[in-house]
Every structure is written in structure tokens, then in C-alpha cells.
Amino acid sequence: MTASAPATGALPSLRQRVLRHVRGPLVWTWLLGTVFMMGLANHFTQSAFDRALLDDAYAIASHLRADDEGQVALQLTDSELKAALFDQAEYVYYAVYRADGSQLAGEPLPLLPWDESEPVSYRETLYNGQLVRAVALRSAVGEQQFSVVMMHTTRVRDSLFQHLFLYAAIPQLTLLALLLWWLRHRIGQDMAPLAALQTSLSQRDAQDLAPIPPSAPATTREIEQLRHTTNALLARISDNVEAQREFAGNVAHEVRTPLAGIKALADYGLGHADPAVQQQQLQRISDSVARASHLVDQLLLLALSDEASAVQLLPVAPADLVQQAVLRHWDAASRAKIDLGAEGLDTAEAEQLRIAADANLLAAMLDNLVLNALRYGGQSVTVALQSAADGSRIELAVIDDGPGMSEEQCQAAMLRWQQGASGQSLGQGAGLGLAIVGKLAHLQQAGFYLAPRAGGSGLRASLVFNAVHNPAPRAP
């Protein structure tokens, strides 16, 4: 059964999400920048027009003079007044008021409420149905106070403001559109390797675990790292699948033979009525089942060692593990009349030794080495514990006095499905024990060595671990 792909039609693409996150701030930046710019333009435009309006008020106030009798009047002829207030695009109005509110000159403009504390006041109001800008200027002739009011329509100012808005906002809006187009194009180019990776994975067969080739040049470090990570995952899956296939092949190949032998022994026993023959066949069946069970255990341990990618190394007391291994095989050694013993455990220094290892895996390794020595060695097997002179390395060695092997034979025996001459002559085992020990030693950052025993016949199988200094006190 194949898993159906999740529905993703309602979800936006990564490019759309990135563009959405970029487009929003850009539009708001343009909008706020335009508002700020237009406010600034309006401020300076208003200031320029107010300055011109105030200059007209000063021009009118400068021509207020008193005659010989002390009467104040506006000393401007009509032609001079028209020249002073001439504006071909706007309407300009003026009025001069006395302190009591009576009008001295000009048009009957409304006397708006002004701030008496300020010499100049500005207002915007309606006059003759038009929006005008008004200024009131406080002026004095002698001891008499006057107010000069100037009103100016705002068509030119409003037109100038609109032109500023168009000439400033439209180019910025055009640049914003070009920037968004460019971002969309560049983001699409940067996302192209990611899309190619997705296409490559979606079109790949489930059995294809080959690395993904770079179909497009990587544009970002993250996309390239994603491809490397995906390839690493595919490699781990491929190794796992290969280990499962190898395990299945090993089981099918190695277990079929002992099962066929057990069936043949059972059939032979059932075909004879003699109880002695049946008893003999039952004993052979029991021995064959024991060998098959041991083979299955070895295959399972081999599969475990192949799949284990990381082992947690903790401080372990090697003296305890050696003693336990000897006790576990004591009965088997006694039945086979083999002298099984330990060496290097009866010292205070040995009790304090610690190695960085996994206790369960180390116990399985010692079991393999001791069983090999009991099966193929001579009449004596010793499990020895000793520390290097500098205390950095600790060796656990299984030593036997059997026929032994040469250096070349020792190296070959450490490979999978390889046996020495003793194993081949006895027809026992599958040639997996030493390979398993080597694999488990590698996982625990330890060394495994098989060599002829020094000073005589036999073999020395050594496990060399890193020592752990200043261990924590052992629990009573």
C-alpha cells in the first residue's frame, strides 16, 4: 500500500510567502514615505506662500501715514495699489482696520478672531465662496493701532501641491513595482534548486536510494545543506536496507542447512523402532538445535552491530565483567574438562580500573571469545585483565593453548564467514563470532586483535579499551 500525498493545494508556495512578507513592508514604507514627503512639501509650500502674503501685508502697512492733523490714511494711489497687489493667477484682497474695529481702507473683509498675543496670525476661511488664506498683521502709526488683513486664494498653491504629489508619488510607485518584479524574479531563481530537488524526489522510484545529483547550481547554503542532508539520509536508509537484505540472506542460507539436518535426523529416528537408535537421534537433534540456536543468536548480534550507528559509552568495571563471563561458562568448561580461569583480578588496582564501553555489548564480546576458545582451543583457557604502563589503555584477553594459527590465518579468521582449520574440521560455527567481536569493538572505539600466543601454541584474542580516570565510587 502506498501512502497518498497530503493535499497542498490550499497552502501558499514558499516564494509566495516570501514575497508576501517582503511586499507588505515595501508598500507600507512607500505609503508612509509618500505621506511624510507630501506633508513636508506642503509645509514648505505653505511657508513660501505665507511669506509672500505677509510681504503684501507689510507693503500695505508701510504706506499707513498720519497727516498734519494726525489722521492716518493709506498713502497709495489706485495704480500703485494695483501694482502692489497684482497677481495674474490669484485673487488678492486687503483691508485695514482701526483698533475699534472700524475699517480704514480696502474691502469689507470679515474681521476674523485673531490671537491678540501674536503680531502675525494666519487663518484659512471662505470668502466669496472660495477658500482663501488670510493673514492679520498688527501695525502702529504713532500711538494708533491698526490691523492689516490680507486674503489670497489658494488655487496656485493647491495646484503646486498636486503636481508635487504626482511627480513624486508616481515615480516612487513605478520604482516599487519594478522592485517587486525584480524580487519575484530573483526569489524564483533562488528557489529553482529547491524546486528541482522536490521534483527529483517526487519522481524517484521507492527503490532508488542513489544520491541526488545537483540538477541546478546551488544558490544558497541552506539549499545545498538540505541536499547533502537528504543524501546522507538516503545513504543511511540504503545501508539499513542492505543490512536487512544481508541478514535475510544470511538467515536463509545458514539456517536452512541445520534445519534440514534436524529434519533428516528426526525422519531417521522415526523410521527405526529400536529405542537406542531413537535416543541417539534425539541426542543429535538436541545438539543440532543448540548449534542452530547459537547461529541465530550470532546472526541477530551481527545484524545489531550493523545497524547500531551510535553506542553510549559509560564507565564500566572490566574486572566484574571478566568474572561474570568466567562464571557463565564454568559449567560448559567443566563438562568439556577444560581449565577455565581468570588472571589479573585479585589486585586492588584491578578493582579500580574503569573502561569506556557498553556493558551489554562487552559481555557479548567476551562470550564469543570464550566460546571460541572452549570449542577450538586446548585444555586451558584464561581470561586476563591488565593495564598499560601509563594507565591509558586496558586489555581484556582470552588466551588458549590450542593448536593456534599463523598471523595470516588470524587475519583471515576475523572476516565474516571465515573459519580456521579447527572450525572447518569440527564442522561447527558459521565463521561469524570473531567478525562480530571486531564490529562491536569498533562501535565502542576499542581495538580487537587476534594473534598467536607468545611462548607456545594457542591464540591470544585481545580487546583494548580506553581507560576512564577518576571514576565515581562504586555502589556497595
**Mean pLDDT across the chain, nearest whole number?**
78
Q: How far apart are CA 399 and CA 462, in angstroms?
A: 9
Interval 452-470: pLDDT, tens = 887 778 899 999 998 987 5
Give yes or no for a contact between 367 and 332, defined as CB atoms under 8 angstroms apart.
Answer: no
Q: What is the pLDDT of residue 381?
A: 92
Give the C-alpha separation, 398 to 459, whole Å.
8
pLDDT in tens, 138-190: 888 888 888 888 888 888 888 887 787 787 778 888 888 888 888 888 877 77
Confidence of residue 315 (pLDDT cuts 50, 70, 90): very high
- What spatial distance separates the first Cα and last Cα of the chain, rounded to whole Å? 55
Query: What is the 3 state secondary structure string of 313-380?
Result: CEEECHHHHHHHHHHHCHHHHHHCCCEEEEECCCCHHHHHCCEEECHHHHHHHHHHHHHHHHHHCCCE
Q: What pLDDT band is residue 9 in, cutting at 50, 70 and 90?
A: low
The answer on pLDDT for 430 being more than 50 is no
**β-strand pairing of 447-452 with 393-400:** unpaired
pLDDT tens digit sequence for 328-353: 888 888 888 999 999 988 887 888 89
List phi, psi (to 5°) of 446. Answer: -115, 165
Structural domains of the chain sorted by starting position, each given as residue range(s) with its CATH number in brackets: 16-163 (3.30.450), 221-299 (1.10.287.130), 311-466 (3.30.565.10)
